[in-house]
A = this chain, B = another copy of it.
C-alpha cells in the first residue's frame, strides 16, 4: 500500500512523497530561498512535418552533472548542497522540474510566428515532473527491491491520473533516461514524466496504424501483434501470466524490447493490483537483462525506458500501455548514433537481427 503526502517547495512547486511504510509523514518545510521558476517555452508547428516543436530557451543553464555531494536529489543533509527534497529520507518522490520544457503558463504568446499562418505558435503548456526512485544515490533501477518498483508503478499511476486531469494536457509520458551517453545530467536514480499539450508524433502514427488495422480487420492491433509474437516465440524474452516482453520484429535499436500487458489497458491508472505486482517483477527482470547484455565485463548500457500511454482524450480503445525499452550500446565501447539516414530522413538501419537480440536477452536472465 502506497501513501501519498503532498507538499510545496520554496518556489511554490509541488512535491509528492510516496511512502511504503504507512501514512503519517509530516513533510518538513523547504528552507531554501528560491527565485520563481523561469518558464518561457513556446511550441511552434513545423510546417514541413506538421509536428509541434517546443522551444525552451531558458533551459540552457540547467544543472549539469554536479558532484555526488552536491546532488539535488539526495535527501536533505546528505550532501553539501541544499536538496530539492527537504525530508531526511524518502521512498519515492515526485516533484515539478525546476527547468521544465512544458509548464503552466501565463505567457502572452502570438498565435503565429512573424504573423504568418504558415507558422502556428502556442505557449508550451503542460507539466514536467521528476521521479526519484530511491534515496540511494548509487542504486540502479534494476537493483531496487521488487516492492520499491511496485511503489514507483503506483506513483506513475497516481501522476498519470493527476496530470491527465489538468486542462490542456493531452498525453502523459513517464520515462527514464539512463547514462551520460544519452545526456543524463544527474546521476541519482530518477525518471521524468512529461505531460504534453498535444498527442505526440509517435502516438499519432500508432493511432493511425491501429485505426487502419481496426477498419480492415475489425481487430485490435496490439492484441494481434502480441498474439503473433507469442505464437512465433523467436523474439519473446519473458512470457508471464499478464505481461509479455519481446523484441519487435522491426527493432530499430541495437537492443530493444517492448513489454505489453495481455489486457487492453490504456494507461497505468487502469492496471489491477495483480497486473502491477507482476509488472514490478517482470520490468525489473527485463532491465537487469538489458544491463547484462554485453557480458559481465560490459559497461552498463545507456538506455531509454519509455512508457507509452494512450492519449487523455482520443484513441483510448486503439492503443494500450506499453514499454519501449532500448539501449544505444551496440557493443562494448560502441554506440548506435543517429546520423544522416536516421536523423535527417527517418530511415533506420539496425546492425543487429531482432531474433539474435532476443536470444541474447533470454540467455542473460537471472
Contact = CB atoms under 8 A, between A and B. Distances in A.
A118 B182 contact: no
A21 to B, nearest CB: 30
A343 B335 CA distance: 15
Given A228-B114, A339-B183, A339-B304, A50 B205 contact: yes
Given A53-B252, A114-B228, A352-B60, A202 B345 contact: yes
A165 B203 CA distance: 36
A307 to B, nearest CB: 9
Given A114-B228, A119-B249, A249-B119, A194 B347 contact: yes
Given A228-B114, A339-B182, A345 B47 contact: no
A228 B116 contact: yes
Interface of A: 44-57, 59-60, 64, 101, 113-114, 116, 118-119, 173, 175-177, 182-184, 192, 194, 196, 198, 200-203, 205-206, 208-209, 221, 224-225, 228, 231-232, 234, 248-252, 304-306, 308, 324, 326, 330-331, 334-341, 343-354, 356
Given A114-B232, A224-B118, A345-B173, A340 B52 contact: no
Contact of A351 (B48, B59, B232): B59
Contact of A60 (B114, B177, B331): B331
Given A56-B351, A306-B344, 11 more contacts: A47-B225, A51-B348, A53-B349, A54-B347, A56-B349, A57-B353, A113-B249, A114-B234, A119-B228, A177-B340, A194-B340
A304 B57 contact: no
Give the residue among A59, A60, A203, A249 with the most B Cβ atoms within 10 A. Answer: A249
Given A54-B350, A249-B113, A343 B47 contact: no
Nearest to A102: B349
A51 B8 CA distance: 45
A70 to B, nearest CB: 19
A200 to B, nearest CB: 4
A205 B48 contact: yes
Contact of A349 (B51, B101, B173, B343): B101
Contact of A202 (B49, B101, B118, B336): B49
B345 A49 contact: no
A208 B205 CA distance: 14
Contacts of A52: 250, 347
Given A206-B48, A250-B119, A340-B175, A347 B113 contact: no
A302 B48 CA distance: 24
A51 B228 contact: no
Contacts of A45: 250
Contact of A209 (B47, B53, B347): B47
Task: In the A-B complex, list the 8 residue pairs whose CB atoms are closest, starting with the nearest.
Answer: A183-B337, A306-B344, A201-B346, A175-B340, A44-B250, A200-B345, A46-B250, A114-B232
Contacts of A337: 182-183
B54 A348 contact: yes
